[in-house]
Amino acid sequence: MQHRQKLLHAVLYALMTLSLLWALVPILHMILSSMKTQVNMFEMPPRLFFTPTFDVYQEMFFGRGDFPQFLRNSLVVSVVTTALCLLLGVMGGFGLARGNFRWEKDVSFWVISTRMAPIPAVILPLYLIFSKLNLIGTTTGLVLAYTTFNLPFALWMMSTFFKDVPADLEEAAMIDGCGKFRAFWRVVVPAAAPGIVATAVLCLMFSWNDYLFASIFTGRGTQTVPIAASLLVSQSGIKWGQAMATGTVIIMPMLICGLLVRKYMVRGLSMGAVK
């Protein structure tokens, strides 16, 4: 019996190792390739041990290209969108969680279907409206576009987090003489702080990772890093070294952010359905 148990565990760990290889080899291959010379990069089987070179990165960040500007644009758009959606979403989410409105069900449904609306179907009308308002190619346009999915997300997530904060808490504060809004600000918001941070990180990630909106709504000077990645693909071929380095730069901050809020990841990615 003991023996069989051991064998079973060995099989489980072997399968787990295979799954991890499947998940991680592409990412590792990208990161390693970005640090290889053009010659080493295409060697098969790939070399695992080599002297890393950061030439591609150096060229990207300090060369003649526009990469730093792409990066700055991405950062500005993501941060501004996140701040905006969080401000509205934290207040609105509280309203949604506590409001007990007659049309709460409809609002919830509306919020979730806005969040889940297919991006191509959202882009089209926004494109027409933005071109009338001269917002194509502007940072404002892109921020508004990202708000279409991040605001409903923030509202929805914050309402699930606020539902977890017992209403007694703010009622106690109100008995102590706080107004409702003050009680919310002083007592409820701190209690839901981890949820706010997790929501912020996910909003940041959704904006940072977007390609399709950016491909339609940005122009010269406002393009973001995913666009920089796509521009490396051309008729005459793909600059693989740069592509892998750009990919690495795009995913690194999100890996770190994601790991920081790991505990809330399930909740965020299941739209609050799993706690």
Partner 1 sequence: MQQAASRPLMRKPKRNRTEFWMLLPSIVVLAAISIFPFFFMVYASFMDYSLDMDRPRFAGFGNWADTLTDTAFWQSWGRTLVYAGGGLLAQLVFGCAIALLLYHIPRFRNLFSTLFMLPLFVAPIVTGLLWRFLLDPTYGLYHWVLNTFGLDIQVLGDPSYAMFAVIMMDVWEWTPLITIIVLAGLQTVPEEPLEAADVDGANSWQKIRYILLPMVRRMIVVALLVRSMDILRYVDTIVITTEGGPADATKTIGYYLMQVAFRFQDIGGAASVGLTMLLASILMGRFFIKVLRSEEA
Question: Among residue numbers 35 through 54, which ones bind partner 1 (CB under 8 A)?
Answer: 41-42, 44-46
- Contact residues for 240 (Cβ-Cβ < 8 A; gap 6+): 33, 41, 42
Question: Of residues 7, 13, 63, 219, which one binds partner 1 by CB under 8 A?
Answer: 13
Owner of token pair 């979730």: 112
Q: What stretch of H or E contains 28? A: helix 2-34
DSSP 8-state symbol, 211: -
Q: Is 22 in the site for partner 1 (CB under 8 A)?
A: yes
Q: Is 72 in the site for partner 1 (CB under 8 A)?
A: no
Q: Is 259 in the site for partner 1 (CB under 8 A)?
A: yes
Q: Is 204 in the site for partner 1 (CB under 8 A)?
A: no
Binding range to partner 1, per CB under 8 A, among 58-66, 133-141, 191-199, 210-218: 210-218
Question: Of residues 212, 219, 221, 260, which one binds partner 1 by CB under 8 A?
Answer: 212
Helix, strand or coil for residue 114? helix
Determine the size of the site formed for partner 1 (CB under 8 A): 101
Q: Is 147 in the site for partner 1 (CB under 8 A)?
A: yes
Question: Among residue numbers 89 through 118, which ones bind partner 1 (CB under 8 A)?
Answer: 89, 91-92, 94-96, 98-103, 105, 107-114, 116-118
Owner of token pair 């003489």: 177
Other Cβ atoms less than 10 A from the Cβ of 87: the count is 12
Distance (Å) of CA 151 to CA 14, 77, 155, 262: 43, 14, 6, 21
Cβ nearer to partner 1, comparing 19 with 134: 19
Q: Is 12 in the site for partner 1 (CB under 8 A)?
A: yes
Minimal distance in Å, beta carbon 63 to partner 1?
A: 20
Select from 191, 165, 197, 210 the least CA-distant residue to 261: 197
DSSP 8-state symbol, 37: -
Q: Is 137 in the site for partner 1 (CB under 8 A)?
A: no
Q: Is 134 in the site for partner 1 (CB under 8 A)?
A: no
Select from 80, 85, 78, 90 the least CA-distant residue to 204: 78
Q: Is 65 in the site for partner 1 (CB under 8 A)?
A: no
Question: Of residues 55, 169, 197, 240, which one binds partner 1 by CB under 8 A?
Answer: 240
